Chains A and B, each alone.
Chain A
Amino acid sequence: MECVFGLVGNGFAIVAADTSAVHSILVHKSNEDKIMILDSHKLIAASGEPGDRVQFTEYIQKNVALYQFRNGIPLTAVAAANFTRGELATALRKNPYFVNILLAGYDKETGPSLYYIDYIATLHKVEKGAFGYGSYFSLSMMDRHFHSGMSVEEAIDLVDKCILEIRSRLVVAPPNFVIKIVDKDGAREYAWRESVKEAVAV
């Protein structure tokens, strides 16, 4: 029931993910951040097996950091995406990672980009993408409303439309979402969309 989706706009890429950590019928928490900041200008939105998700994305994050330390230059988004795909591919026929990834990045030379990487190491460069049951709704909404070069406001509006659709039409829909953006100024959290607040101990 995990929902992850994203799109590329004018000089930025945006990804949204639900924030429920679920085990069978129990919701452990509803503020689990599934969008990792890979480096200054890259985001990984991941969904899938919870242990694999954290393990794999942290592994990629540390390898990306190591590359930068070793070589003094950061990896480009396309290089990071291909590296990630390669790691999934290598593990696939031994002990696969059940993780689906949307990698959003911004490079000075080539601008924003979004990569769809699924758990069997498929890699596609896309303008919009989604994983999970929510994808039935978010992809349809994006097919209807997306156009190339959207502004941040237009893109956020579309993201909110997708979230609304998921909330209203998906049985056992996740209540809360986190939205993160990456542009020339870097990768950062944009907003949360919460309909159920996680209880805080007093």
Chain B
Amino acid sequence: MSRRYDSRTTIFSPEGRLYQVEYAMEAIGNAGTAIGILSKEGVVLVGEKKVTSKLLQTSTSTEKMYKIDDHVACAVAGIMSDANILINMARVQAQRYTYAYQEPMPVEQLVQSLCDTKQGYTQFGGLRPFGVSFLFAGWDKNFGFQLFMSDPSGNYGGWKAAAIGANNQAAQSMLKQDYKDDITREEAVQLALKVLSKTMDSTSLTSDKLELAEVFVLPSGEVKYQVRSPDSLSKLLVKFGVTQAPAEAS
């Protein structure tokens, strides 16, 4: 096709497309799915882990979920090393804002600043775009709980429920069917796990194949980001019936 327009990231093809950006999105289509759902009482993020091994130190490291600031977290899909750069940028931006204004950075402003950076890589510099999509979950005093999705082009949108990574279109249409505006926090967790289990290739979910995190407000008014422990996650999977009961020892 128009291969001669591929090698430079910062030019349009004759059809008006940015191929490098599209190829970046292809790379993300091979990554583990991540789903985010907004409820009245919080935002839930679930992610499918691609690296599953008993040797992984799950208590200290996460593969899909990252905390940006006390009131904002994100789920990633795509090239992990690219994601790390952007996550660090987001963290610096959030602290820079708090340094200047002594207040937490509004969620949309954080997403916007990160997306402005991503956009730069599609317009000048000759460097390839970042091969990462994000789901940002956060709370601020202006708009309460918010969920944003951003992609390599630097576009972003606010969502009630969104999916990125492998099978994201299937997940998105399932979310569209089952989401309701007054969903509670627990129902959102249930829906997220249900949709993820349907879109994942494996037949049964176990807690070592997933990560689940929530952003919610404690009774004290403080915003909390919490990643579920593997045990707590296993219990949830059993409770919502998305996992097979452990096999009987023969």
Contacts and interface: CB of A to CB of B under 8 A. Distances in A.
Interface of A: 71, 73, 75-76, 78-79, 82-83, 86, 109
B141 interface: yes
Contact of A73 (B99, B100, B102, B142): B142
A107 to B, nearest CB: 11
Q: Is the interface of A mostly helix, strand, loop or mixed?
A: helix
Contacts of B99: 86
Contacts, number: 22
A86 B141 CA distance: 23
A197 B28 CA distance: 73
Contacts of B106: 71, 73
A77 to B, nearest CB: 11
A71 B102 CA distance: 17
Nearest to A86: B100
A78 B100 contact: no
Nearest to B102: A82
B100 A83 contact: yes
A83 B142 CA distance: 19
Contacts of B102: 78-79, 82
Contacts of A78: 101-103
Given A71-B109, A75-B101, A79-B102, 9 more contacts: A71-B108, A73-B142, A78-B102, A78-B103, A79-B101, A79-B103, A82-B102, A86-B99, A86-B100
Contacts of A75: 101
A82 B100 contact: yes
Contacts of B109: 71
Contacts of B100: 82-83, 86
19 contacts: A71-B106, A71-B108, A71-B109, A73-B106, A73-B142, A75-B101, A76-B103, A78-B102, A78-B103, A79-B101, A79-B102, A79-B103, A82-B102, A82-B103, A83-B100, A83-B101, A86-B99, A86-B100, A109-B141
A73 B99 CA distance: 19
A78 B104 CA distance: 12
Nearest to B103: A79
A86 to B, nearest CB: 5
A81 to B, nearest CB: 8
A83 B101 CA distance: 5
